[in-house]
Amino acid sequence: MGQRVLITAGAGGIGLAVAKAFAAQGASVHLADIDADALAAATALDERITATRADVSRAEDLDRLFADVQQQLGGLDLLVNNAGIAGPTAPVEEYPADAFAQVVAINLQGTFDVTQRAIPLLKQSDAASIVTMSSLAGRFGYPNRVAYSTTKWGLVGFAKTLAMELGQFGITSNTIHPGAVDGPRIMRVFEGRAAVSGRTVDEEIASAMANQSIQKFIDPDDIAALILFLAGPHARTISGQMFPIDADAKAAQ
């Protein structure tokens, strides 16, 4: 493919699955992540994968990141905005204000800052794309996860605005809305829910599966395959859209 790809939070989970999928297709992939050990492991997988340790909420880290992107990739064809944190599990009246601000700083402000810096590079591409990771919580309300849901809804408006502003440059912008993605992160979510509800983790998992038409966790490789398509030649007129990949979930709980 020869694409040049930047993935935030790219050293594990969905981000790493996307990195491996694009590298396997011949793309040059640069990862940003706060986990230095995970980045070292990821770059050892394929010579096409390079990395910068960076926190998307820190301007100095983004300065270093985009200097590395320019040096390693020489430009950019795809930005995957994957960085985000879940925040605590608590009802709104008990939700810590500083925790809310931290979730906003990473999920919304960090995504804005990365994208703003990436746009001049994307404009130089003949077929550029931005894919932003929202969530099932970006389509439904999410009890006890107000900061997460608020920011994931906010990313939809952000991505749709990008689609309108950048369409004239041939740049597409879409959001992906995963449900319960298989891996350690979703288990931590179920543990948090159990702590609030008083139910067991297994009971929380059963409740989540009952909310879905297809009783399965989401495979990160399936999300990667969707992003491959959205960044590919057959999706150049698909923009401003929301793509659920959630086993037909009926709510974010």
Residues with catalytic roles: 148
Q: Residue 124 CB: number of other CB atoms within 10 A? A: 12
Question: SS3 helix, strand, coil % of the chain, rounded to 5?
Answer: 50, 15, 30
Buried/exposed code over 44-67 (b: 16+ C-beta within 10 A; e: otherwise): eeeebbbbbbbbbbeeebbeebbe
* Rounded distance between C-alpha atoms, residue 141 and residue 78, angstroms: 30
Structure-block tokens of residue 208 = 């989540």
